[in-house]
Amino acid sequence: MTLKNKRDKPVLPTFQKTTRSWLDARLTKIGLALFMGIISGFVFDWLTVPLPWMLGPMFVNIIAAMIGMPIAGPVRLRPAVAVVIGVMLGSSFTPTMSDQIALWAPSLAFMVLYLIVAAMVVVPYYRLVAGFDLPTAFFSGMPGGLMEMMIVGKEMGADERLIILAHTCRIVIVVSLVAIWFRLVQGIDLSDRSQFGIPFSDIPPEELVVLTVVGIAGFYAGRFLRLPAPMLLGPILVSAAVHTLGIVQNPPPRELVIIAQIFLGTIVGCRFIGTGPAAIFQAMRLSLGATLIMLILTFGFALLLHNIFGQTIEQLVLAYSPGGLAEMSLVALAMNADIAYVASHHLVRISFVMMMAPFIFKLFLKKDRHSSK
């Protein structure tokens, strides 16, 4: 029923005014965050910084969040961003790759060993150095997906805010350190952007249609199968299937991949909104210690095993580094590394941690109770 005043003029209900005002303010904040992300992306690209379209928006929005600027992340668009990146990563699979997957089995098996060793070192670090309670220390220290660790951790009685900070800082630090290490120390040229796909105009229209269908099908398949990180893993698997079968040869357009990186970097940077500078620096300090421990283990495994696996040290570092699946795969893409090899290891990492974390946590809990007696 429409409310009217004495002159029969419609009166907008108060809640509609409030909703519209909130929405306008929200869109303005998102627009500001994306605008700063785009500008910083151009600046980072001009400076030939690795992953400019992701790291630029990420860093500028972390700073903006710390100083209290009115920004907000476009979190509702994260599924679309994940789909684009998933289809892109899946496009790295080729018809000749089926023979290689069997050769990766030993490397994937040692990935599980790496995760167990990392958990045995990093969880006590958060427990003893950070002073976290056991559930929070465990789910902050396990190198799984952020959302999965937050959800499961909350169910186990952990502090989800500390888990979010720990994993967000871990991803930021790992991606930054690994990319900068390869750029400055190893001297690997990351300034060539051609590896991020081909221009929109060079992809046949029929392939654009197929890639769109692949993204949509992968999104719903991931949710239906209840895969870990379904919005990313579903499109990766469907895209890998159609590219391995030779149905499609091209990845998503370069312009779309760059836009996805800008949104991803902005979303990650805006996770720090509402957290004071002191809390952010504290989380960064603690996460830096935990991340350095994991990266030392990563380089140790890479140095010991690269000859056995027939892989370069750089490729093993990318595969074993505890960064995000999308973020580390983008680093691999920037380095012209074997994206399928790197992505498959991160999929195993996320899946193993997601499936085994509750059981491993019970072992830690049992040990903690036994030692406290």
In the prediction, which pLDDT does 149 show? Answer: 77
Q: Which domains does the chain have, with CATH numbers?
A: 25-372 (1.20.1530)
Concatenating the DSSP letter of every residue in 95-150 gives: TT-HHHHHHTHHHHHHHHHHHHHHHHHHHHHHHHTS---HHHHHHHHS-S-HHHHH
In the prediction, which pLDDT does 275 show? Answer: 78
In the prediction, which pLDDT does 211 show? Answer: 93
Asked if 207 and 363 count as a contact pair (C-beta separation under 8 A), the reply is: no
In the prediction, which pLDDT does 55 show? Answer: 78
Between the alpha carbon of residue 191 and those of residues 13, 45, 237, 328, the distances in Å are 54, 8, 29, 17
The answer to whether the pTM exceeds 0.85 is no
In the prediction, which pLDDT does 39 show? Answer: 96
Q: Which residues of the chain fall short of a pLDDT of 50?
A: 1-3, 11
In the prediction, which pLDDT does 266 show? Answer: 92
In the prediction, which pLDDT does 50 show? Answer: 63
Tokens representing 237 are: 């698997």
Tokens representing 241 are: 């299937």
